[in-house]
Chain A
Amino acid sequence: MSMKQEKLHDLSDDMFQPAKIDSSENEQIARESTGFWKDAWRRLKKNPGAITGLIIIVAIILLAIFGPGMNEHSYSEQELTRAKLPAKVPVLENIDFLGVNGVDIRGTDQYEAKGYEDEYFWFGTDEFGRDQWTRVWQGTRISLFIAAAAAFIDFVIGVAYGGISAYYGGRVDNILQRIIEVLVGIPNLILIILFILIFEPGIFSIILALSVTGWIGMSRIVRGQVLKLKSQEFVLASRTLGATSGRVIGKHLIPNVLGQIIITTMFTIPSAIFFEAFLSFIGLGLRPPEASLGSIINNGFRSLQIYPHLVLWPSIIISLIMIAFNLLGDGLRDAFDPKLRK
């Protein structure tokens, strides 16, 4: 068991003098402490999926803002002689497999056939000869607007409702929660459809319809978080240490609840975009010439077999938006709550 004892005799005497150990060094915490947001951002940066999502979202928002103005066509400008042209993009048109050379699925160059050799419609044109690029980005703009507005309304109602419910507690909480119980018993799909049937399809009725039940999830999360935090020991601890209510709310409540709110919003937006598109499919979407991504795709389905580009481009964009928000939402969830990380 023991080491070669004889070797140990060679050690010099001064080795056995007391060592100066700086005990303060030992007590130091190795890592610098970081704030909640900084810490979350540091974790988010390490998540390639979330960063990809973020970049896609920024790119799509920029295109939704500037895309419709990037060529000379307006979203409602009709010209039947150039209807249903496939996509054609300068430079990229020379790369065959991309399929953006203006040749349709039967192999004829529609631009040549219809006499528009010098024109470029980056996503092609629709059945009225409207520029699909402009319409798609216009539609993206509207889809994003609807989703953002619905998410904002959810946020306002949800935070107020959940906050009041948790803050006052007791009877108020009891009544408010019974109301929610009844509401969640009703399939939201049914409520949304009935709502739009009554108020006629339009941007604002769609936003309102999506918010009718949308806020419930947010209110539950806010209520749950506030209740949890109210009873948590660190809040009690900081109160005991003399922290004011304002400080407790500012330092503990808001960062914790806000994280959850942001995550919920990140998942509300794609689901609102999906629902809006879904409404177009069941005939309750926007009325032309107004268009959202959903209604553009729905229109495209009518001529899918011959003009797939009318479905393809908006489909890719709506899918990218959904993927990006889901990736970012997942990433934020991990970043705000590392315990959940797997």
Chain B
Amino acid sequence: MEKILEVNNLHVSFDTFAGEVQAVRGVNFHLNKGETLAIVGESGSGKSVTSKAVMRLIPNPPGRIKEGEIKFGDRDLAQLSEKEMQKIRGSEISMIFQDPMTSLNPTMTIGKQIMEGLVKHQNMSKSEAKERAIELLKLVGIPNAEGRVNEFPHQFSGGMRQRVVIAIALACNPRVLIADEPTTALDVTIQAQILELLNDLQEKMGTSIIFITHDLGVVANIADRVAVMYAGKIVETGTVDEIFYNPQHPYTWGLLGSMPSLDSTDEELIAIPGSPPDLLDPPKGDAFAPRNPYAMKIDTEMEPPLFKISDTHYAATWLLHEKAPKVEPPAAIKKRMQGMAPSEPIIGAKDGGKNV
């Protein structure tokens, strides 16, 4: 499969009065053509920072990309000038944001906001851009697009606004779309509509999507692969099936355990104790150790490397080391692993959701 985007050893830090906050501490991942990669993690895990870093939208100061490369085709986005980056933003890589209520300019008609990118990147005339804007509004499912193109954001509901945001992002047919928690601020019913829209559009336009979320339920609906982030690092990465039915990292266990599911009513939710570490002063060893009931001595001293489970599945936990004791995952996780062993044919939630 063709890799469209590859992030290697990305470090992002913020210089604050209290000191250097290492928000992203050596992240590696890649995005294949036409696939959806979900980056999952708690707030503060660095997932949004990672996505903003790819777009080079980290405000500097205080933020800066300390090291690492972001390979997009034959270019390294981390090294491009601001001018060169402006040509890529919105035309080759686009982004949609969490809160549709605040991510549109309140004093500009939505038509103008869509047209801006078209005029800039595709040298369209105003009238061409307007026509295209109306087309885009239709594409994202806004009724009466001709009339509404001249309206202001506050005249739209939250779900409709997110559709407008998606129209802006897709205006120039980008190759990569980064969706930073695009459904978090929406009602559940609207969430499903937006996810469906993204799935549809991906099929029509062949865009690759990086989908940032803290909600594993959403991941099942949309992603092909998943990267789990914790404290500025990716701790486990694999296909959706691997992550859901053969998770290896105790943090992933925790995330899955804290996710309610409809099919089993007697299942108890498991909370992950404690809170994420202070990235001003990241702990020595495995950052998850203080919250990890399976923590070993080595966790407090050395950072675990990524252990390979399959060609697509890696996890950074010492539990995978040959000398580590065999531990039993929590009951709920075990049930998942047994009940849906990868050998069985899986009808993944993803395929069900996609309606292929």
Q: Do chains A and B touch in the complex (CB under 8 A)?
A: yes
A residues neighboring B (CB under 8 Å) = 1-3, 5, 8-9, 11, 13-19, 21, 23, 25-27, 30
Given A1-B306, A21-B289: A16 touches B273 (CB 8 Å cut-off): no
Contacting residue for A26 out of B290, B296, B302, B305, CB 8 A:
B290
- A17 pairs with B296, CB closer than 8 A: yes
List the A side residues contacting B351 at CB < 8 Å.
none
Contacting residue for B278 out of A1, A5, A18, A30, CB 8 A:
A30
Contacting residue for B308 out of A1, A17, A23, A25, CB 8 A:
A1
List the A side residues contacting B318 at CB < 8 Å.
16
Verify if B314 is at the interface (C-beta below 8 Å from A): yes
Contacting residue for B305 out of A2, A9, A30, CB 8 A:
A2
List the A side residues contacting B323 at CB < 8 Å.
11, 13, 15-16
Across the interface, name the chain A residue whose C-beta is closest to B275. Answer: A26
Given A2-B308, A8-B305: A19 touches B274 (CB 8 Å cut-off): no
Report the separation of the CA atoms of residues A9 and B305 in the bound assembly, to the nearest whole angstrom.
13
Main secondary structure of the interface of B (DSSP, over half): loop
Report the separation of the CA atoms of residues A3 and B308 in the bound assembly, to the nearest whole angstrom.
10
List the B side residues contacting A9 at CB < 8 Å.
322
Among all A-B residue pairs, the 6 with the closest Cβ atoms: A3-B305, A15-B298, A26-B274, A19-B295, A26-B290, A2-B306
Verify if B324 is at the interface (C-beta below 8 Å from A): yes
Report the separation of the CA atoms of residues A1 and B306 in the bound assembly, to the nearest whole angstrom.
7
Across the interface, name the chain A residue whose C-beta is closest to B303. Answer: A3
Across the interface, name the chain A residue whose C-beta is closest to B299. Answer: A19
Contact with A along B267-287 (1 / 0, CB 8 A): 000000111001000000000
Interface residue range, chain B: 20 to 34
List the A side residues contacting B28 at CB < 8 Å.
1
B284-328 interface with A by 8 A CB criterion: 289-292, 294-302, 305-308, 314, 318, 321-325
Main secondary structure of the interface of A (DSSP, over half): helix
Which of A13, A16, A17, A30: most chain B Cβ within 10 A?
A16
Known: A5-B305, A19-B300. 12 other contacts (CB 8 A): A1-B28, A2-B307, A2-B308, A3-B305, A8-B305, A15-B298, A16-B296, A16-B297, A21-B289, A21-B300, A25-B290, A27-B275
- A19 pairs with B273, CB closer than 8 A: no
Given A2-B314, A30-B278: A17 touches B297 (CB 8 Å cut-off): yes
- A15 pairs with B296, CB closer than 8 A: yes
Query: What would 13 A/B residue contacts be, using CB atoms closer than 8 Å?
Result: A1-B28, A2-B305, A9-B322, A11-B321, A15-B301, A16-B321, A16-B323, A16-B325, A19-B297, A21-B290, A21-B300, A26-B273, A27-B275
Q: How far is the CB of B341 from chain A (nearest CB, A)?
A: 24
Which of B298, B301, B307: most chain A Cβ within 10 A?
B298
Contacting residue for B289 out of A2, A8, A19, A30, CB 8 A:
A19
Report the separation of the CA atoms of residues A5 and B322 in the bound assembly, to the nearest whole angstrom.
11
Given A23-B273, A26-B274: A16 touches B324 (CB 8 Å cut-off): yes
